[in-house]
Amino acid sequence: MNNFKVCIFDLDGTLINSLADLANCVNEALELHSLPTHHPGNYNYFVGNGVKNLIRAAMGDKAEDEKLFTSVYKAFNLLYNEKCLEFTQPYAGIDEMLYELKNNGIKLCVLSNKTDSFAKRIVNSLFSHSTFDSVWGKKEDFPTKPSPDSALTMIKELGYQPSDCLYIGDSDVDLKTARNADLKFCGVEWGFRGKDELLENGAKVIVKKPSEIVKLVCVDE
């Protein structure tokens, strides 16, 4: 798996561990509305499909009340705006991996279902501004992943073809995004979902640590 020119990374659960901040802010928003909260570990399976779906998953049946849902959603956004970087950090080895890829001439991108403004803010806070060539969160005029629309538009804007790109992520959503966009996929074990979900959804390549991505992309076999 080599000769790639572009690496497209999912953000949460792939480049960064943001689970604590997401869980804390959703739980606080739920508490403000006298709704049950969840153990932080449960959020591993709530995240990945965009903020609205995160809130709906956390609210359960209560999300059917659209007025209540809207209020919880707004509360989360206010809280996350204040606290999105309290505990969020890159996973071990990510900075070194990105440096090696960049040093080998690989274009680096982020494609996330996180709200676009939050995705850009977090990436710009945790990584050098010169690291990534493109950073996309969830934009209003694009559907969430696993729709291929945002990935394909990003690739086109960069001047590349899907065959030039490797998509890296930690969940079934990422695998399906790659499949729908006709991209090669690399799964990561250290994320929110784990190896089993990736295997169950047909992932052929899964790495245990970030340095293995450099070998996949930059070293001829």
pLDDT surpasses 50 at 221: no
Residues 73 and 182 reside in one and the same domain: no
Residues 123 and 155 reside in one and the same domain: yes
Residues 181 and 168 reside in one and the same domain: yes
- Strand locations in 22-130, DSSP E? 89-90, 107-115
In 10 A of CB 133, how many CB atoms?
Answer: 16
Residues 178 and 191 reside in one and the same domain: yes
Q: Check if the beta carbon of residue 30 is closer than 8 Å to that of residue 58.
A: yes
Residues 120 and 79 reside in one and the same domain: no
Please write the tens of the pLDDT for every residue from 69-126.
999 999 999 999 999 999 999 999 999 999 999 999 999 999 999 999 999 999 999 9
pLDDT surpasses 70 at 220: no
DSSP 42: G
**Domain end point (choices 83, 106, 127):** 83
Average pLDDT estimate for 121-143: 95
Please write the tens of the pLDDT for every residue from 144-168.
999 999 999 999 999 999 999 999 9
pLDDT value for 86: 98
Domains identified in the chain, total number: 2
Residues 108 and 171 reside in one and the same domain: yes
Does a structural domain hold residue 97? Answer: yes
Nearest of 215, 187, 102, 111 to residue 155 by alpha carbon: 111
**Domain end point (choices 46, 63, 83):** 83
Give the CATH number of the domain where residue 188 resides. 3.40.50.1000
pLDDT value for 48: 84
Residues 101 and 173 reside in one and the same domain: yes
How do beta strands 184-188 and 165-169 pair?
A: parallel
Residues 44 and 123 reside in one and the same domain: no
Give the CATH number of the domain where residue 43 resides. 1.10.150
Residues 12 and 46 reside in one and the same domain: no
In 10 A of CB 207, how many CB atoms?
Answer: 18
Does a structural domain hold residue 58? Answer: yes
Does a structural domain hold residue 38? Answer: yes
Residues 60 and 140 reside in one and the same domain: no
Full domain range(s) for residue 209: 6-17+89-218
Please write the tens of the pLDDT for every residue from 14-37.
999 999 999 999 999 999 999 999
Residues 128 and 185 reside in one and the same domain: yes
Question: In the chain, helix, strand, coil percent, each to 5?
Answer: 50, 15, 35
Does a structural domain hold residue 1? Answer: no
**Domain end point (choices 27, 60, 83):** 83
Please write the tens of the pLDDT for every residue from 36-69.
999 998 999 899 888 999 999 999 999 999 999 9
Nearest of 130, 164, 123, 141 to residue 10 by alpha carbon: 123
Residues 10 and 24 reside in one and the same domain: no
